[in-house]
A = this chain, B = another copy of it.
Amino acid sequence: MSRAVVLLSGGVDSTTTLAVARRDGHELYAMTFSYGQRHAVEVEIARRIARSARVADHVVVDIDLRTFGGSALTSDIAVPKHGQSGAAIPITYVPARNTIFLSYALAWSEVLGARDIYIGVNALDYSGYPDCRPEYVEAFAAMAALATKAGVEGTPTRIRAPLIAMTKAEIIRLGASLSVDYAQTTSCYDPSPNGEPCGECDACVLRLKGFSDAGLNDPLKYVRR
């Protein structure tokens, strides 16, 4: 079995991506970031999902994006509720986040001899982040091929973004077909102190609409609905 590094946040998209990497026949190496986010509960959820999926290894990398400020997800700016922000790129955007995450995954893949990195970005239902677009993923792969020993030796790491052109409803239907247990996942940017999703932030609204469009019930219990 060839090895694959899978970026795992514990949300619908990354958990579905983990199931896709398993379906593709890989031995799984999950990587989660703890980055001073409000939603630190994500990390615990990712641990549980990685255990359930019996990954070969799971690392939690502690990085501190708060050093630079600049986003509602890592600083003290209030998280906007859905529809409050009219900007093309929302303030929940974390500067260069996927670039930092993929860079760490690239380092780990080189140590492991993994040929594939899976990331659950998607360009359609997401909120306009530049680093969720297919052209970004392709440019990262082109850079990675020049950055590493594996690339120089003719076996560059592939960046797999299997959800990139899917709607949230399609992602949820795919995951359901791969027996993903969405009761384990979380999506909320602004959960209550005991971890219940708010039901009102962009991520919750997209998730709820996804389940509704897929004709499936979201198994999570929300603070207000």
Q: Across the interface, do A131 and B111 meet the contact criterion of CB distance under 8 Å? A: no
> Within A57-95, which residues are at the interface with B (CB < 8 Å)?
59, 61-65, 67-70, 89, 93-95
Whether a CB of chain B sits under 8 angstroms from the CB of A41 is no
Q: Across the interface, do A95 and B111 meet the contact criterion of CB distance under 8 Å? A: yes
Whether a CB of chain B sits under 8 angstroms from the CB of A108 is yes
Whether a CB of chain B sits under 8 angstroms from the CB of A106 is yes
- Distance between Cα atoms of A80 and B67 in the complex (Å): 35
User: Which residues of the other chain, B, contact A167 by a CB distance below 8 angstroms?
Assistant: none
User: Which residues of the other chain, B, contact A99 by a CB distance below 8 angstroms?
Assistant: 103, 106-107, 143-144, 147
Closest to A141 in B: B143
**How many protomers of this protein does the assembly include?**
2
Question: Given A59-B67, A143-B139 in contact, is the A96-B130 Cβ separation under 8 Å?
Answer: no
Q: Across the interface, do B143 and A96 meet the contact criterion of CB distance under 8 Å? A: no
User: Which residues of the other chain, B, contact A67 by a CB distance below 8 angstroms?
Assistant: 59, 61, 108
Q: Across the interface, do B151 and A147 meet the contact criterion of CB distance under 8 Å? A: no
Q: Across the interface, do A62 and B64 meet the contact criterion of CB distance under 8 Å? A: yes
Q: Across the interface, do A68 and B107 meet the contact criterion of CB distance under 8 Å? A: yes
Q: How far is the CB of A209 from chain B (nearest CB, A)?
A: 25
- Distance between Cα atoms of A96 and B130 in the complex (Å): 22
Whether a CB of chain B sits under 8 angstroms from the CB of A222 is no
Q: How far is the CB of A44 from chain B (nearest CB, A)?
A: 18
Q: How far is the CB of A122 from chain B (nearest CB, A)?
A: 16
Whether a CB of chain B sits under 8 angstroms from the CB of A211 is no
A interface, CB within 8 angstroms of B: 59, 61-65, 67-70, 89, 93-100, 103-104, 106-108, 110-111, 130-131, 133, 135-136, 139-140, 142-149, 151-152
Q: List 24 A-B contacts (CB under 8 A).
A: A61-B67, A63-B63, A65-B107, A67-B108, A89-B149, A95-B106, A95-B108, A95-B111, A95-B148, A96-B106, A97-B107, A99-B106, A99-B147, A100-B103, A100-B104, A100-B107, A130-B146, A130-B151, A130-B152, A133-B146, A135-B146, A139-B142, A139-B145, A140-B143
